[in-house]
Structure formats: structure tokens, C-alpha cells
């Protein structure tokens, strides 16, 4: 414990020293404008709020430590309350301001603005990892593996570790394009030979009690519930299942249900919401978690402390996700500058497409490197499965990739 604390303090000291002894920027430095529109309030804000803080804090750090020399990143962040019409208005105003790269949030708005991105020829890094974002698109770059890849990989894990015949699963999803998209790919994987049965797909509402739904799934023999939504509805369901005595105490326990989920369903935020009810919850994402100490998570916590974030935000994988897109945007600008080129929408787009092979980028927030090309616009390919053990998320096995996604795409 003393060694970990010392490691953290050293990382924080490095950040503070960099800030304190970096010379002030010259008046002649340039400001590169970016824009972010997301749900800081309203639906899914439990993810959007810490995400916004991650973006804000990393760009502050970039500017205050002169990572881009005398140049700065000027990123305007606006709340769109998860409403596509507000997102569109924000994007249009950002264009009027002269942005050179755009950071979007929701699946609905990313799909809704896809044609606009093409017309403007502007690179977009969304917080939505919906695989459909990439269909007929040249300018959207997913930061990490898609929801589809994550859900299919989690389905593969269920099939591989189920010991008695064909695993019966239910999908618990957000009632939107964000929630529905990956289910189609999971069904394709089953059709391609994945050994499980999707018994029911539940689109959750705003119900405060899931008792009837959980009992119905039990009556159908469902043993695994795979979740693709945000943390709040999952926390409510887990607490209801625990109260009813339906939650498996060990993975795949007969006569009980094991709960698993994709990216936005888990992380330390879920533990804060569900408490002991999320013990044994399995979850996949492409980000490092602060419950597994390492150099990257130490830097994340140091950044949060530097800018006065509370423990909840500091330990959120959504905070890490916000940092990560800011890291990718900064690195892209830095590389274009190093080549002596002008920072424009076109040069940034071209640079992102060259971020592969020896030019791959390794942010401290993720399980693997970011790679892009004209034929591959999903950044981090690697996924890590975690499970809640004694109140914290711990790694299960090594980072992995879905095998069936290659068969169905």
C-alpha cells in the first residue's frame, strides 16, 4: 500500500512540476478550435458528466504544460441533454467558430449528423461506439472497439464457460439505437454458430421495480442476462435481483442468473450505485480501471487530483474515456505540427488515417494501442473482461478480441 501511495504521489508531483516550471506561452501561439456536445444533464448524463470532465481536464493539462509548444487547444463543451436537435445546433455553431475536429457523444446524434460530417469533411471522435456509425462513413473514428464487438465477445465468453448444453441468455438494453444495434450482431453470431440461445430482448423503461421481468426470465430458464445500456437501470435491476434471491453467487450457478454487461453498464460508477448487489457482475471494456493499479491509472488519478475532481469522477472509466479522446485529438495535432503542416480539418483527418503500424498511438487510458486507417476506423481493438470481486472490479484473464465478429462482418 505504501509503495502504491508513493507511486501515485510521484506521478502527481511530476504533473505539478511540469505545470509549475513550464514557461508561459507567447502571444504568437495559435489556438486550434474543437467542439464537444454531450449529455452533461438529462438521460445518460451519469456517463456524460464525467466524460466531459475528462475532456476538459486533459485539454487544460495540454495547454498549461505546453505540450503543443506555444499553441493551445480551445475546446468548447456544451450540454445537449441527449437531444439530437440541440446537438445539431451546437455542431453548426462550432463550424461557424472554425473547429478543425469534432467530439460527439450519443449514438442517435452521430447517426443523425453522419451526412453533415461527410459534407464538412471533418474528423469526428464520438463517445458512441455503435458499429453502425462506421457504415457509409469516412469521417467517424470510434475511439475503441464497438458495442457490437463487446457484446459478441461477452456472448462468446458465456458460451465458452457454460458447462451444461446451450446457454440461455436474455438481453437487457437501452430503448434506443444505442441499445438495439449490437443485438442484431449478437443474433448474427448465433446464426453463425455461437452456441447460445437468445431467449428474450428486454428494452427497459423507467420502471423502479424489475421484479416481474426478472421472474419472467427465470420462468423461461434464462441463466445469463447481458446488459447494454447505462449504469442506473442496471443498478436497479441488480438490486431487485438480489432482493429476490435470484442472483448467482458463482458464475453460471444453476437456478440463478449471472449478470454481464458492455462498456457503459459497468465500472466503478456501477458499484457506487448498486453496492453489494453487483458482486459477481461481469463486464467488458477497453479501458484501464483504477481498481487495477498501474502507471496509466496512476496518471489518471493524478490528473483528477490536479483539477480538484472528487473520487467518484476520478475513478470513473467514463472520466478515462473523456481523457482518451482528448489524448487522441492532441496527439493528432502534435503529429501534424511535427511534420510542419498547417492544422486543418484535412491534415488532421489524414493524420488519423496514418495512425497504424509503427505509428500506432498508446494512450495511458486504454488496454491497447489506437490504430486507424482508411479501412479500419475502430481505435483500440483489445477488450478486457472484469468482474466485481469483494466490492471492486478485477481483471478476468488476458485482453481479448471477438472471434465471431470477423465471421459476421
pLDDT score recorded for residue 11: 53
Average pLDDT over residues 218-234: 95
pLDDT digits (tens, 9 = 90+) for 244-275: 999 999 999 999 999 999 999 999 889 999 99
Strand partners, 79: 38
CA distance 164 to 259: 18
The answer to whether 372 and 356 are in contact (CB under 8 A) is yes
Count other Cβ atoms within 10 Å, centred on residue 206: 9
* Cell 450482431 sits on residue: 185
The answer to whether 400 and 381 are in contact (CB under 8 A) is no
CA distance 45 to 255: 35
Order across the sheet with 101-104: list the strands.
72-79, 31-38, 101-104, 124-126
CA distance 81 to 43: 7
pLDDT score recorded for residue 408: 87
- Domains, the chain, with CATH or none: 31-144+292-376 (3.40.50.2300), 148-285+385-408 (3.40.50.2300)
Annotate 301-330 with b (16+ C-beta within 10 A) or e (fewer). Answer: bbbbbbeebeeebbbbbbbbbbbbbbbbbb
The DSSP code for 164 is S
Number of helices (H), then strands (E), belonging to the chain: the values are 15, 13
CA distance 322 to 35: 13
SS3 246: coil
The answer to whether 34 and 103 are in contact (CB under 8 A) is yes
CA atoms within 13 A on the CB side of 84: 12
Looking at the whole model, is its pTM more than 0.85? Answer: yes
Q: What confidence tier does 17 reach under pLDDT thresholds 50, 70, 90?
A: very low
Decide if pLDDT at 13 tops 70.
no
pLDDT score recorded for residue 27: 54
pLDDT digits (tens, 9 = 90+) for 123-145: 999 999 999 999 999 999 999 99
CA 194 to the chain's CA centroid: 25
Amino acid at each position: 500500500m505504501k509503495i502504491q501511495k508513493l507511486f501515485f504521489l510521484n506521478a502527481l508531483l511530476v504533473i505539478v512540476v511540469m505545470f509549475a516550471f513550464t514557461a508561459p506561452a507567447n502571444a504568437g501561439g495559435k489556438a486550434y478550435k474543437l467542439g464537444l456536445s454531450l449529455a452533461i444533464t438529462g438521460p445518460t448524463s451519469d456517463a456524460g458528466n464525467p466524460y466531459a470532465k475528462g475532456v476538459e481536464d486533459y485539454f487544460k493539462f495540454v495547454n498549461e504544460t505546453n505540450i503543443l509548444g506555444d499553441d493551445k487547444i480551445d475546446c468548447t463543451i456544451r450540454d445537449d441533454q441527449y437531444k439530437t436537435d440541440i446537438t445539431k445546433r451546437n455542431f453548426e455553431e462550432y463550424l461557424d467558430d472554425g473547429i478543425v475536429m469534432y467530439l460527439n457523444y450519443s449514438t442517435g446524434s452521430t447517426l443523425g449528423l453522419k451526412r453533415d460530417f461527410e459534407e464538412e469533411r471533418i474528423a469526428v471522435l464520438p463517445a458512441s461506439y455503435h458499429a453502425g456509425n462506421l457504415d457509409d462513413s469516412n469521417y467517424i473514428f470510434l475511439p475503441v472497439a464497438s458495442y457490437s464487438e463487446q457484446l459478441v465477445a461477452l456472448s462468446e465468453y458465456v458460451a465458452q464457460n457454460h458447462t451444461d448444453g446451450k446457454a440461455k441468455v436474455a438481453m437487457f438494453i437501452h430503448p434506443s439505437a444505442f441499445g438495439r444495434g449490437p443485438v442484431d450482431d449478437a443474433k448474427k453470431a448465433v446464426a453463425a454458430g455461437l452456441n447460445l440461445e437468445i431467449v428474450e430482448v428486454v428494452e427497459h423503461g423507467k420502471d423502479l421495480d424489475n421484479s416481474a421481468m426478472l421472474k419472467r426470465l427465470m420462468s423461461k430458464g434464462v441463466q445469463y442476462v447481458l446488459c447494454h445500456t447505462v449504469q442506473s437501470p442496471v443498478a436497479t435491476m441488480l438490486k431487485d435481483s438480489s432482493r429476490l434471491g435470484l442472483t448467482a453467487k458463482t458464475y453460471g450457478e444453476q437456478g440463478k442468473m449471472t449478470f454481464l454487461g458492455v462498456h457503459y453498464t459497468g465500472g466503478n460508477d456501477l458499484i457506487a450505485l448498486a453496492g453489494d448487489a453487483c458482486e459477481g457482475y461481469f463486464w467488458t471494456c477497453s479501458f484501464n480501471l483504477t481498481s487495477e493499479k498501474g502507471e496509466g491509472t496512476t496518471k489518471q488519478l493524478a490528473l483528477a487530483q490536479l483539477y480538484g475532481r472528487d473520487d467518484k469522477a476520478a475513478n470513473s472509466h467514463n472520466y478515462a474515456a473523456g481523457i482518451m479522446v482528448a489524448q487522441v485529438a492532441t496527439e493528432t495535432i502534435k503529429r501534424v505540427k511535427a511534420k510542419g503542416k498547417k492544422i486543418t480539418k484535412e491534415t488532421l483527418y489524414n493524420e488519423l488515417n496514418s495512425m497504424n503500424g509503427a505509428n500506432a498511438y498508446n494512450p495511458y487510458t486504454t488496454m491497447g494501442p489506437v490504430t486507424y486507417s482508411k479501412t479500419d476506423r475502430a481505435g483500440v481493438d483489445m477488450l478486457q473482461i472484469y468482474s466485481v470481486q469483494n466490492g471492486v472490479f478485477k481483471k478476468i484473464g488476458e485482453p481479448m478480441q471477438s472471434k465471431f465478429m470477423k465471421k459476421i462482418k
